[in-house]
Amino acid sequence: MPAVMRVLVVGGTEFVSLHLVRALLGRGHEVAVLNRGRRGERLPAGVRTLVADRKDHAALRAALAGETFDGVVDVTYAPTLGEDVVALLDALQGQPHVLFVSTARVYDHALPIPYSEATPRGLYWGEYARHKIAGEDALLERHRQEGLPVTIVRPTHVLGPLNTRHNETFFMDRIHRGRPVLVPGHGGWLRQFGHVGDLADALAAMLGDARTHGQAYNVMGEETVTQVGFVEAIAEVMGRPVTFRHFDPALLQDWDRPGPVFGQNLVYNCHAVHTTHKLRLDLGIRPRYTLRSGLAQTWDWYRAAGLVEREVDFAFEDRLLATLGA
């Protein structure tokens, strides 16, 4: 692969993919994105946009006709089925290095932690896991049959500015306003996080590296923390106290609720801890951010973006707190 690469990012204007675009530009690569063209104002200068809905396979072929790339990073999830990944591969010209951003939720979380790249995959996480496994399999089959250079990347919870999963800002909204944080259950399940900048840097570093061909890598930070420990870490970087209200999650079964009660991603009842030594030992890639420094950066962004003033609907939580006798 050339030192300067022509790279296509499928996605490009949301959380992980936007940070990736910036990381690629920082390395001097020529970057194009393929998406539906709705958030082009977010893109840095010099990034070219190919407009197509990846799930419209005819439009995808038309958008990529005559285009050649050294590397392709498939980030977007629409949800993306195995057949959508196959359609992308069929539409590409030549044999670019294809990186697929999968998920650590392909692992069978009924098995003991920690989960390594050798942990059996399974459908513990339902259709989301099924779709990601199908995408992985499509790529690995193309690698075996045609020698296409492919790499699978499996992050877990990702944090950082512009997070569309609201892993941190959900709690910042409440802690900043002096509200209690509701905890369904004990809050002691172990979690692991990775910073979006570290994920973007890892993806950029893997492009063009033949050692990664046909391989899968866990990409995340190396610290583990309980659910409530994560919230306490957020409160610490904010310099604010936090109060927890634990309750039996069975209370929620008969209630209509507008959204999650403990963050969009964090409420599930199992551990999620993964090894990262393959990435470190094989490729020399390690995270720059600790959990604390990553949360501090997000808190800085939260304030700079004016989110401290945004309107948040706490009506459902107030009902629940009243039921608990708050």
pLDDT digits (tens, 9 = 90+) for 50-109: 999 999 999 999 999 999 999 999 998 989 999 999 999 999 999 999 999 999 999 999
pLDDT digits (tens, 9 = 90+) for 103-112: 999 999 999 9
Coil, strand or helix: which one is 255? coil
pLDDT at 325: 86
pLDDT digits (tens, 9 = 90+) for 279-302: 999 999 999 999 999 999 999 999
Tell me the sheet residues that pair with 244.
Answer: 181
Cα torsion 103, 108, 113, 115 to 10°: value is -40
Q: Which token pair is 264? A: 């969009």
- Shortest CA distance to 243 belongs to which of 317, 158, 164? 317
Within the chain, which residue ranges are assigned CATH 3.90.25.10? 169-191+223-271+293-323
pLDDT at 40: 81
Residue indicated by tokens 């697929």: 100
**Average pLDDT of the residues in 27-42:** 91
Tell me the sheet residues that pair with 49.
Answer: 33
Q: Which token pair is 323? A: 């039921």
Query: Which superfamily does CATH assign the domain made up of 6-159+194-219 to?
Result: NAD(P)-binding Rossmann-like Domain (3.40.50.720)
pTM of the model: 0.96
pLDDT at 37: 86
**Average pLDDT of the residues in 145-159:** 97
CA distance 160 to 169: 10
pLDDT at 252: 87
One DSSP character per residue, 46-64 reads: T-EEEE--TT-HHHHHHHH
Do strands 224-226 and 190-195 pair parallel, antiparallel, or not at all (unpaired)?
Answer: antiparallel
Within the chain, which residue ranges are assigned CATH 3.40.50.720? 6-159+194-219
The rounded mean pLDDT for the chain is 95
pLDDT confidence band for 1 (50 / 70 / 90) = low
CA distance 271 to 161: 25
Statement: residue 183 has pLDDT above 90? yes
Statement: residue 258 has pLDDT above 80? no
Say what percent of the chain tops pLDDT 90.
88
Statement: residue 254 has pLDDT above 90? no
Statement: residue 47 has pLDDT above 60? yes
CA distance 99 to 90: 15
137 sits in which H/E element = helix 126-146
CATH class for the domain made up of 169-191+223-271+293-323: alpha beta
Statement: residue 326 has pLDDT above 80? no
